[in-house]
């Protein structure tokens, strides 16, 4: 089949030549199943924009001169068993020019960015339920209210403690408890003894978001909690930062070893609007001495 695909890719007519049918390109010895497979390949090439393909007549030709060269390039990839994107496991997108093929997340991010431009109301490729916890304090030196954030290297963002719901979690409370254990391991906190949780909001949905971790257009549903009655000091890790509330609503950045890191302030403005009284009026997480 690979030889047939190679012949197919290399013999698709140039854009200034008459189109040919899939049957003509497949050859007289091609079976019905071969024709169907090549029609499937033609649809994929049409999605890429490199061919004009009429599914009523099965006529096909390159969409432009550069497209013909792209077909030749794809044939070289196929012939030499090369992959357009080799790494589909590494998370985190690269937005620098020329790096869209570095990993699957960057490639998907480029695809989804274009799809957002082409569609008026694009459907998400991914839906995630997320639990996050607000841990609030008053800075002992500046007396300004702050929230605890943690740096996510994959997303290159500072985010609240929390993460994605897993089917094994059952309830969202189990998700946030698991995330606290995973993301604040040095603190060795026990729910019900060292802290309590107050649910602030359920299933908040921001606008569809391009995930900086996976590159997919994502619909997020956030459930928010406030950590309360915290009875011990938190042992922070290098990626943990107390962030003034002013940073959340003024599009500020946080200095990091990798440079200034942007906070998704639009998201936290959404949180602020949907928390009764707003984030600033939430009590501190720490137990207040009588």
CATH of the domain at 60: 1.10.10
Same-domain status, 184 and 220: yes
In percent, the amount of the chain with pLDDT more than 90 equals 74
Same-domain status, 10 and 114: no
Same-domain status, 23 and 100: no
Q: Which residue is it, tokens 């040919």? A: 20
- pLDDT of res. 253: 67
pLDDT of 106 above 80: yes
Domain contains 286: no
Identify the band that residue 290 occupies on the pLDDT scale cut at 50, 70 and 90.
very low
Q: Kindly give the residue spans of alpha helices, DSSP state H, lying in 12-50.
A: 22-26, 32-48
In percent, the amount of the chain with pLDDT more than 70 equals 96
**Average pLDDT of the residues in 76-88:** 94
Same-domain status, 23 and 144: no
Q: Up-side HSE of residue 102: CA atoms within 13 Å toward CB?
A: 16
Same-domain status, 168 and 258: yes
Same-domain status, 170 and 253: yes
The residues pairing with 223 across neighbouring beta strands, listed in sequence order, are 131
Domain contains 156: yes
pLDDT of 163 above 80: yes
pLDDT digit string, tens, across residues 208-260: 999 999 999 999 999 999 999 999 888 888 889 999 888 777 766 676 666 67
- pLDDT of res. 258: 61
Same-domain status, 31 and 47: yes
3-state class (DSSP) for residue 227:
strand
Of 203, 145, 139, 131, the C-alpha closest to 174 is 131
pLDDT of 13 above 70: yes
Identify the band that residue 91 occupies on the pLDDT scale cut at 50, 70 and 90.
very high
Any idea how long the chain is?
290
Same-domain status, 199 and 265: yes
Same-domain status, 44 and 87: no
pTM: 0.87
Same-domain status, 225 and 95: no
Largest Cα–Cα distance of the chain, in whole Å?
90
pLDDT of 144 above 70: yes
Residue 106: give the domain boundaries.
Answer: 83-122
Average pLDDT, the chain: 91
Question: If 0-12 CB within 10 Å is exposed, 13-18 middle and 19+ buried, where does residue 222 land?
Answer: buried
- Counted domains in the chain: 3
Is 245:252 a contact under the CB 8 Å cutoff? no
**Average pLDDT of the residues in 75-84:** 94
- pLDDT of res. 257: 64
Same-domain status, 104 and 24: no
């Amino acid at each position: 089949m690979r030889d047939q695909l190679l012949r197919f890719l290399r013999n698709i007519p140039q854009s200034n030549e008459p189109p040919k049918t899939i049957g003509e390109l497949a050859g007289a010895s091609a079976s019905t199943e071969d024709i169907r497979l090549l029609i499937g390949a033609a649809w994929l090439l049409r999605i890429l924009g490199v061919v004009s393909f009429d599914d009523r007549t099965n006529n096909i030709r390159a969409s432009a001169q550069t497209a013909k060269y792209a077909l030749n390039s794809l044939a070289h990839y196929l012939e030499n068993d090369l992959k357009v994107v080799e790494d589909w496991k590494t998370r985190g997108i690269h937005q620098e020019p020329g790096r869209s093929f570095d990993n699957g997340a960057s490639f998907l991010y480029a695809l989804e960015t274009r799809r957002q431009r082409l569609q008026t109301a694009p459907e998400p490729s991914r839906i995630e339920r997320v639990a996050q916890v607000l841990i609030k304090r008053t800075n002992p030196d500046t007396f300004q209210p702050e929230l605890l954030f943690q740096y996510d290297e994959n997303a290159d963002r500072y985010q609240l403690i929390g993460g994605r719901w897993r089917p094994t979690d059952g309830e969202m409370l189990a998700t946030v408890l698991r995330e606290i254990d995973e993301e604040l391991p040095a603190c060795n906190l026990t729910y019900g003894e060292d802290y309590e949780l107050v649910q602030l909001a359920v299933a908040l949905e921001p606008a569809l978001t391009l995930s900086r971790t996976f590159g997919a257009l994502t619909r997020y549903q956030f459930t928010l909690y406030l950590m309360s009655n915290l009875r011990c000091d938190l042992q922070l890790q290098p990626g943990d930062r107390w962030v003034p509330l002013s940073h959340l609503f003024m599009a500020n950045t946080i200095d990091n070893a990798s440079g200034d890191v942007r906070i998704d302030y639009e998201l936290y403005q959404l949180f602020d609007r949907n928390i009764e009284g707003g984030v600033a009026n939430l009590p501190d997480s720490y137990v207040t001495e009588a």
